[in-house]
Amino acid sequence: MSKSIFSVIVAGGSGSRMKSVIAKQFLPLFDKPILSHTIEKFLEIPDNRIIVVLPKSDMFFWEEIIESNELLKNAVAAGQIKSVAGGATRFQSVNNGLNAINETRGLVAIHDGVRPLISVEKIEASFKQAAEVNSSILAVAVKDSVRQLDENGESKVIDRSKLQLIQTPQTFNLKLIKEAYDLGELAHFTDDASVFEHAGHTVHLMEGEYKNIKITTPDDLSVAEALMNK
């Protein structure tokens, strides 16, 4: 695997769906903020350099997190973690994170800051696959029946065996994903894989984990607590 390993942790959310004045990534999950759990997983990857992308208005929360967490504090002091301000959209935030990486050769994993239950093994596997085929997008099979609505509100069944739910990390050849982001933002971009694909590259999926949930609502937080207890 390439020695130039990077991770962009996108933590630009708000607390609106949590009905909280505090952004969801800073809410406590047991003994520490959600974001801290997430970053600590990526710190377990050898030689991984981490860029945390945060809303400019929330940088003081980040400073408090660092001061209260010895592991993160030491990693920041060692230059293993640095933070940058995000943009108005997720695309802009990820682009800011990528632009904070001066190198162009290597691999980069892009991950939601509110997915703290990702396993270290899956992060490692995503880097390994991306090193071989330039991309690795975590995904899981759809369990429920799915129906698609038309413009009249009528529905039709969709074959769920052909559908995948996309997760993060989404890991890429660093040079290729940087070039893809340099092409600019389009309305249909929903994730980093769609940016990569628009640039003409092949998106390769990798089996994800059902426990790798994105915490966006109070119910999600309760599920995460239950999974961590388990």
The whole-number mean pLDDT for each consecutive block of 10 residues of the chain, a chain of 230 residues, reads 86 57 83 96 97 93 94 97 95 97 96 97 98 98 95 94 97 98 96 98 98 94 93
The whole-number pLDDT of residue 23 equals 78
Q: Are 157 and 147 in contact (CB under 8 A)?
A: yes
Is 204 in a helix, a strand, or coil?
coil
Q: By CB neighbour count within 10 A (0-12 exposed, 13-18 middle, 19+ buried), where does 194 fall? A: middle
C-alpha pair distances (Å), 128 with each of 44, 132, 155, 195, 209: 15, 7, 41, 21, 17
Unique residue bearing structure tokens 């899956």: 122
The pLDDT score that the predictor gives to residue 15 is: 47
Residue entry with tokens 């990820």: 94
For the chain, the domains span 5-229
Q: Which fold has domain 5-229?
A: Spore Coat Polysaccharide Biosynthesis Protein SpsA; Chain A (3.90.550)
First to last CA, the chain: 33
